[in-house]
Amino acid sequence: MPGRRLVVVSERDHRFLDLDDMASVSVGRSPENDIIVKDDMVSRRHCVIERAPEGGYRVRDLKSFNGTYLNDNRVREEPFRLWDAVRVGRTKIVLVDRIGEPGETPAPESNGAPAPEGPASEKVLSATRTMDSEVDLPAALRHPEVRTVIDDLLRREREKTEHEVGRRIRDESAPASLGTFDHLALRALRYGPMDGGGDFYDALSRGPHDALLAVGSVSGVGVAASVAATAARHTLRGLLAVAAEEPPHELAGLLREALRGSLHPGSAVSAVLAQITGGTQVRLGAVGGAGALLYHAATAEVRVLRAPGRRDEEALRPEDHSVVLSPGDRLLLASDGAGALRRVGTSEAFGAEQLQATFAAEPQLPAKELLQKLAKALEAHADNAPDRDGTFLLVEPA
C-alpha cells in the first residue's frame, strides 16, 4: 500500500519511516529492529506493524512485558488504520498519508556534467532502516496535517509525563495515613484532573485527645503545584514546632506569610485548620479560599462555617470560629476548588450553597460514600471535565 508513512514521536524528537513495499516493520529496543526505541519500558522485540491478509495494516504485540497500546487501549492484534496511534513505552507511532510519491519532484536539467558520486546514495538507501530522513524532513514538516499530528502528540506526551510526575510527588509527600485518634474518625478524598495536585491535607496529634487537622491549596498546575503543596504541608509542620501555642487562625496567617517568600510571585495560598480538643471542642482558623461546613445531627441542618472558593478582600484575613461536635455531627473541611470549580464555558462556580445542599441531602451516608457523592456533584457541575483540583476531609466523633 504505497503512500503511507509512520511518524515516530518520542520524548525528544520525531522521525519518519516510509512504508512503500515493506511487508512488516519491527519495533523494539534491540538494534535489529526497523524502529529502535531506546526505552527500558520497551521489550527487545516489542511489536510488529505488518500488512494484514485482508488488506491494510495491523499491529501485533510480541508478548511484550509492558504491552502495546493502540489509541490508548492495550491490544494483542488489531487493525492499524490511517491516523491511528500505537504507543510502546513513551514513544508513539502514527500512520499517516505520505506527502507525494517518490519521483514527483521534477529533476533539474542536466548540464552535461556527470553526477557526483559519494556517500549520499548510501545514506538514502539506509534511511529506511536507520530512520535518517533528513532529505524529506522539511517538506514533511510543512504539511499542516502531519505538523498538527506531531504537535498534538508531543503536547499530550508532555502533559502525560507532567501528570505522572506530579502524581508521584503528591503521593510520596502526602501523609502515609491520617493517624489514629481516640475520639475522632477521619476520611480524606481528592478529586479533579490531578487528583489534588495543588492541594494538601494533614492530621497531626497534639496530645492524647487533641488534634490539628489541615486542608489547603496553592494555586498553580502540574508539577509546580505538587511541589508547592508539599512545601506548604511541611512548612505547616515546621510552624507547629515553633508556634505550638498559637490558635488556628494565627497559624493560618503565619503559614501564608511563611510561604509568600518562597512561592512564585502571585501564587495564592489558602488553608483551613481545625484544632480539636477533647474530641469535641473545635476551633477553626481559615485564610483564602478554603472553607468548612458543619452537619448538626440534632437539627439535621448543615451550616456553612466558612464558604470555600471565596474571592473577596475579607477572605485574605484569617478567620476564627468555635463549634462543638456532638454525637452524629460531621465537620467537612474543603479546599478552594470545592467552591471555585466552574461550569465549562461559563463563570458559574459550584459555590458554597450547592455544596451545602448536596451535603444536606444525605448527610448520614457512610463517610466514603458521602465524599464520593460530593466529588461527583462537583464533577457533574463541570460536565465531568473539572479544570481544577479539590480535597475534602470529613471529621466525626468516634
pLDDT in tens, 345-372: 777 888 889 999 999 999 999 999 999 9
Residue 250 included in any domain = yes
Based on the domain organization, do 185 and 39 belong to the same domain?
no
What gap in Å lies between CA 164 and CA 198, rounded to an integer? Answer: 14
Considering the chain, what percentage of its residues have pLDDT values greater than 90?
A: 37
What's the Cα-to-Cα distance from 80 to each of 146, 175, 310, 313, rounded to whole Å? 17, 45, 50, 57
Domain end among 142, 164, 186? 164
Rounded to 5, what percent of the chain is helix, strand, coil?
A: 30, 30, 40
Residue 108 included in any domain = no
Based on the domain organization, do 284 and 304 belong to the same domain?
yes
**How many residues are there in the chain?**
398
Please, are residues 25 and 48 in contact by the beta-carbon 8 Å criterion?
Answer: yes
Based on the domain organization, do 148 and 258 belong to the same domain?
no
CA 44 vs. chain centroid, Å, equals 30
Band of residue 120 on the pLDDT scale cut at 50, 70, 90: very low
What's the number of domains the chain is made of? Answer: 2
Decide which of 2 and 215 is more confident.
Answer: 215
Based on the domain organization, do 357 and 245 belong to the same domain?
yes
- CATH number, position 75: 2.60.200.20
Based on the domain organization, do 319 and 381 belong to the same domain?
yes
The predicted pLDDT at position 135 comes to 42
Q: Which helix (H) or strand (E) holds 232?
A: helix 222-242
Based on the domain organization, do 221 and 148 belong to the same domain?
no
Residue 39 included in any domain = yes
CA 228 vs. chain centroid, Å, equals 15
Based on the domain organization, do 178 and 160 belong to the same domain?
no
pLDDT in tens, 369-391: 999 999 999 888 888 777 677 89
What gap in Å lies between CA 99 and CA 139, rounded to an integer? Answer: 8
- CATH number, position 248: 3.60.40.10
Q: Taking residues 182-202, what's their average pLDDT?
A: 80
> Buried (b) or exposed (e) across 17-49, using 16+ Cβ within 10 A?
bbbeebeebbbbbeeebbbbbebeebbebbbbb
Based on the domain organization, do 274 and 342 belong to the same domain?
yes
Residue 211 included in any domain = yes
Q: Domain of residue 92: give its range.
A: 4-100+130-164
Based on the domain organization, do 43 and 154 belong to the same domain?
yes
Based on the domain organization, do 317 and 196 belong to the same domain?
yes
Residue 169 included in any domain = no
Residue 359 included in any domain = yes
**Of the listed ranges 207-211, 277-281, 295-299, 327-331, the one predicted with least confidence:** 207-211
Residue 334 included in any domain = yes
Based on the domain organization, do 219 and 150 belong to the same domain?
no
The predicted pLDDT at position 194 comes to 58
Residue 106 included in any domain = no
Domain end among 164, 189, 218? 164
- Closest among 170, 159, 158, 165 to 226, alpha carbons compared: 170
Given a cut of 70, is residue 112 above it in pLDDT?
A: no
Decide which of 97 and 296 is more confident.
Answer: 296
* For helices 351-361 and 367-381, angle between their N-to-C axes, nearest 10 degrees: 140
Domain end among 116, 140, 164? 164
The predicted pLDDT at position 1 comes to 45
Decide which of 302 and 177 is more confident.
Answer: 302
Indicate if the alpha-carbon torsion angle 362, 368, 373, 374 is positive or negative.
Answer: positive
Based on the domain organization, do 11 and 140 belong to the same domain?
yes
Given a cut of 80, is residue 163 above it in pLDDT?
A: no
